Amino acid sequence: MQQPIAAAPDEAAANAAFRHEYWSSRLAFVLAASGSAVGLGNVWKFPYITGEHGGGAFVLVYLACIAVIGVPVMMAEVLIGRRGGESPVGSMRHLAHQERRTQLWQAAGWFGVVGSFLILSFYSVIGGWALAYAWFALSGTFGSATGGGGEGTAANIKAIFDGLLADPGALVGWHTAFMALTIGIVAGGVKGGLERAATLMMPGLFLLLLFLVGYAAVTTGSFGRGLAFMFSPDFSELTWDAVLVALGHAFFSLSLGMGIMAAYGSYLPRHISIGQAAIVISALDTAVALLAGICIFPIVFAFGLEPGAGPGLVFVTLPIAFGEMPGGGVIVGTIFFLFIIFAALTSSISLLEPTVELLQQRRVRRGVAAVAAGVVIWALGIASALSFNAWSDIPVFGKSIFDALDFLTANIMLPLGALLLAVFAGWAMSRRSTAEELELGEGLPYRLWRFMIRYVSPVAILLVFIYNLA
């Protein structure tokens, strides 16, 4: 690593050379950040981990984590990015210097770069599943699988999923296509790429989920059971492991802990309220996750599937609904998976962006940076893809490579990264700097935030860790 002080003027010059882009409006920022937050985490991961951890009590803990820890940490990350004005690594260096703290704080930025690489490597494999499913929907596969209805339906749909997982060539191919799309959008830049991608897709996904909730309510006959599973908590089922998963997923779903919201915050013009934006983004993200659960669980119960079926849950439930729709659900199914792909892309580009911003600050051209980082991530992702078939018996800490990466990032790295950023914003940064950046004045809202970020978030994260070790 370079000498921070000596490198500063150099760095500043490099910044001045490339930093001319900002979000064009508050709405653009909220949409892009929501685009990062809303993704496979909401539609794919939230339902299956809710299923694995028994439903209601897990959902309640998750909601508490979002409100009490997620929102304050998101505000902290965005304020660090806007005040630092650079990539997460650069911002931490800059702010540590400004606040006269040790340059070791930069490590939090590097930690985020490594974490984003790991997350994107397996995220892209699931993004590939969504691509494959859009193709299946379009080619009428679900309609023929559910053809006669009745007994065989769930088994046929499950066979499609198992067939995809068993095929290394297909998984790697779809993963490659997804990474190529991600790299292409990021190479397009903040306004041309990130912003444009987010503006169209979010509202569409929302409407389609509402439609599917209506479908689940009217046709499955198990709507009440699905709702009860999600919303009537049974705390006797709740374990500390489940609390850790809920906490980790709150960070995963809100894209926190890896400096991503800091990178997006660095493109945020002044005089946009960070607190309001954080609340809107978190609310949207939560709404999409809950809607996804509300359409999936009634189908699970109606067709005698297992709520704890694991990562395939959304892929073995919703296609049943599509297949049973008139015309085999070709149109609705295709549109639905297209929206999932869009939601996944607005998240995957955010995982690549901080690294690209960092490389740009070292004078690498945007397109070159996107391709270079993307290819490394793509190569890493092959290990996850193969862990579903050819490499399924290579265990890492007793899990498959995919599961181990998911556990390491979501349950360990994201909470740790969030802890570092919370401690930095709450303890290393002066009261004056954070108050000025949040523009909340010195009244109750600011004091509440500062209390949460100094005490509640760090203590809660540490407690959950300690209980899991014990």
Binding positions for ligand PHE, rule: CB under 6 A:
36-37, 39-42, 119, 252-253, 255, 258, 260, 347, 350-351
| Nearest approach, Cβ of residue 32 and ligand PHE (Å) | 12
For residues 418 and 435, which CB has a smaller minimum distance to ligand PHE in the complex? 418
For residues 174 and 252, which CB has a smaller minimum distance to ligand PHE in the complex? 252
Q: What is the b/e burial string over 421-430, where b = at least 16 CB atoms within 10 angstroms of the residue's CB?
A: bbbbbbebbe
| Nearest approach, Cβ of residue 34 and ligand PHE (Å) | 10
For residues 282 and 347, which CB has a smaller minimum distance to ligand PHE in the complex? 347
* DSSP codes, 1-20: ---HHHHHHHHHHHHHHH--
3-state helix, strand, coil in the chain (%, to 5): 80, 0, 20
| Nearest approach, Cβ of residue 126 and ligand PHE (Å) | 9
For residues 252 and 402, which CB has a smaller minimum distance to ligand PHE in the complex? 252
| Nearest approach, Cβ of residue 119 and ligand PHE (Å) | 5
| Nearest approach, Cβ of residue 289 and ligand PHE (Å) | 8
Distance CA(383)–CA(327), nearest Å, equals 38
The Cβ of residue 71 has, within 10 Å, a number of other Cβ atoms equal to 22
Q: Look at the block and give the residue holding tokens 């779809």.
A: 174
Picking from 190, 132, 459, the residue whose alpha carbon sits closest to that of residue 319 is 132
For residues 255 and 400, which CB has a smaller minimum distance to ligand PHE in the complex? 255
For residues 70 and 329, which CB has a smaller minimum distance to ligand PHE in the complex? 70
| Alpha helix positions (H), 67-167 | 71-84, 88-98, 106-138, 141-146, 152-165
* DSSP codes, 152-196: HHHHHHHHHHHHHHT-HHHHHHHHHHHHHHHHHHHHT-IIIIIIH
For residues 36 and 317, which CB has a smaller minimum distance to ligand PHE in the complex? 36
SS3 244: helix
Residue nearest to ligand PHE (CB): 41
Provide the β-strand partners of residue 396: 399
| Nearest approach, Cβ of residue 66 and ligand PHE (Å) | 12
| Nearest approach, Cβ of residue 346 and ligand PHE (Å) | 9
Rg of the chain's alpha carbons, rounded to an integer? Answer: 22
Q: How far from chain centre, in Å, is Cα 454?
A: 25
Instruction: Give me the sign of the Cα torsion angle 239, 468, 67, 285.
Output: negative
For the chain, the residue count is 470
How far lies 237's CA from each of 9, 62, 310, in Å?
Answer: 56, 15, 18
SS3 267: coil
| Nearest approach, Cβ of residue 252 and ligand PHE (Å) | 5
For residues 258 and 370, which CB has a smaller minimum distance to ligand PHE in the complex? 258
| Nearest approach, Cβ of residue 409 and ligand PHE (Å) | 8
SS3 396: strand
For residues 118 and 309, which CB has a smaller minimum distance to ligand PHE in the complex? 118
For residues 116 and 360, which CB has a smaller minimum distance to ligand PHE in the complex? 116
| Nearest approach, Cβ of residue 354 and ligand PHE (Å) | 10
